Amino acid sequence: MSEAAATDALFAAAPWHDAPGATIEMRAKYLNYDVADELKPLLLDAARRLVADGARTLVLDLSHVSVVDSCGVGLMIGLQSQVRDSRSSLWLVGVSSFLQKIFRMMHLDKHFQVAAGEEEVRQSPSSPVA
């Protein structure tokens, strides 16, 4: 991410300049109970602002995240609900094989759109920016 519109120690959010989308890069290694309470209002507010500014696709980049517990899952579900209620879409990218396993075990792979990276999201026919 070259230009961060909203920056926090736990994440950075940047709008795309060439399409109606934005990427939120998670910088926290853990999405768990330790960070969820602090992160949730900041993340939801950042997503709300990005969508209000015209983002129709939000990419949540989990490349740096190695552990997600139930609080982290709840955070992602809350973000997905907010984005969907705004008639936008949320994609998860940079999901490690370990996190993919957890998502499958919890059947979350059926509820989240997952792509290898931002470029795949941009090219997806189900993405509003394709």
Q: What is the pLDDT of residue 34?
A: 87
Q: What is the pTM of this model?
A: 0.89
Per-residue b or e along 33-62, where b marks 16 or more CB atoms closer than 10 Å to that residue's CB: eebbeebeeebbebbeebbeeebbbbbbbb
Per residue in 70-113, pLDDT (tens digit) is 899 999 999 999 999 999 999 999 999 988 998 888 888 888 99
Domain of residue 26 covers 6-120
Residue 129 lies in a domain: no
Residue 29 lies in a domain: yes
Per residue in 1-60, pLDDT (tens digit) is 444 444 458 899 999 999 999 999 999 899 998 888 889 999 999 999 999 999 999 999
Residue 53 lies in a domain: yes
Cα–Cα distance between 120 and 80 in angstroms, integer?
19
Residue 84 lies in a domain: yes
- For residue 46, the domain's CATH number is 3.30.750.24
